[in-house]
Amino acid sequence: MPNLPWILVEDYKSPGGWVRPEQHNARARAYCELLESGQILFFRELPLQLPPDDRTFLLAQEWSELRLHKNVSYRPSEDLLRGVSGDGRTIGRLHSILRNYSSQVVEFLAKFLQPYAGRWVLDFASFRPIEEDGRDLPLHKRNDLLHVDAFPSRPTRGGRILRVFTNLNPSKPRVWHTTENFASLARKYAEAAGLRQIAEDDSFIGRTVQNLGSKLGFRGMGRTRYDMFMLRFHDYLKENSDFQANCPKVRLEFPPLSTWIVFTDSVAHAVMSGQYAIEQTLLIPPQALVAPQSAPYRILEGIAGQALVS
């Protein structure tokens, strides 16, 4: 069985100013190390400011699949809201809530995970108002199948995908399954998912970039072998019905108003149920990692016997 990947964080507020900066920094570094090694950091209460009025507004709207794409997403770098249609006032309020939430997460993480501060790429935030249990999505988009995250439009080139989630549901938990750690999944399945082919086929990258270049423009151009493999691995795990049915599973219940932080490129996860979550993603570049040996790209390079990030 997998080790329980859940660590309760209770000391994130510096009590009364007695913590010296070097103690604070050592603690922040220790939390980065835990996250990078595959732990989930869990907070019973909101560690950031999300006004009760905003939470009430998010819960009070009639969100339906018709008005939404997979999620509502917010792009902080462009201050752009995507994935929802409706009346201007509702959209405007949602936009300002997500803008505020995103900046609150950044402010909180700049202290809590200080080694990453200012070195991350701020990725999208999202609001997830649809009940996950019973959603009818195409296989590769299904949230209830175990997978590791990889983004087709945002290659990380060895960088890591850090996500902060809050369950805004006032009465129901958000339920995840997780399974064995990334090193163990990679040892068992990377070969079958095509790691060797991606690592060794010199024409593979060129061909793929060319194909994607026509579809995605410049967004597809920065992919490394690592990015290609992670996209493949995401799909492979979802397609593997034997793995989905028979792998060891740990059920995690995130209670109302709890928050959790996790590197979702290494912690395999499936969302089994839950409605109303808000989330911010940050990409942590390889140079900012405090435990680079735990990074998926290093684990995969060890298996492949060659560099995957160039």
N-to-C CA span, the chain: 35
Nearer to Fe ion, 34 or 230 (CB): 230
CA atoms lying within 13 Å on the CB side of residue 237 = 31
Site size toward Fe ion (CB under 5 A) is 1
Q: Is 279 one of the binding residues for Fe ion (CB under 5 A)? A: no
Q: Least distance (Å) from Fe ion to the CB of residue 22?
A: 36
Exposure letters 104-137 (e unless 16+ CB within 10 A, then b): bbbebbeebbbebeeebebbbbbbbbbebeeeee
Nearer to Fe ion, 205 or 250 (CB): 250
Nearer to Fe ion, 54 or 144 (CB): 144
- Among 21-29, 50-58, 149-157, 198-206, the segment contacting Fe ion (CB under 5 A): 149-157
Nearer to Fe ion, 123 or 149 (CB): 149
Within 10 angstroms of residue 15's Cβ, the number of other Cβ atoms is 7
Q: Least distance (Å) from Fe ion to the CB of residue 310?
A: 26
Residues ≥6 apart with Cβ < 8 Å to 163: 149, 261, 262, 263, 264, 279, 280, 281, 282
Q: Are 229 and 298 in contact (CB under 8 A)?
A: no
Q: Least distance (Å) from Fe ion to the CB of residue 271?
A: 8
When CB distances to Fe ion are compared, the closest residue is 149
Nearer to Fe ion, 55 or 234 (CB): 234
Binding residue for Fe ion, selected from 149, 227, 265, 301, defined by CB under 5 A: 149
Strand order in the sheet with 160-167: 6-8, 40-43, 259-263, 160-167, 277-284, 121-128, 68-75, 80-84
- Among 80-88, 94-102, 144-152, 254-262, the segment contacting Fe ion (CB under 5 A): 144-152
- Among 3-11, 18-26, 121-129, 145-153, the segment contacting Fe ion (CB under 5 A): 145-153
Could you list the residues that contact Fe ion (CB under 5 A)? 149
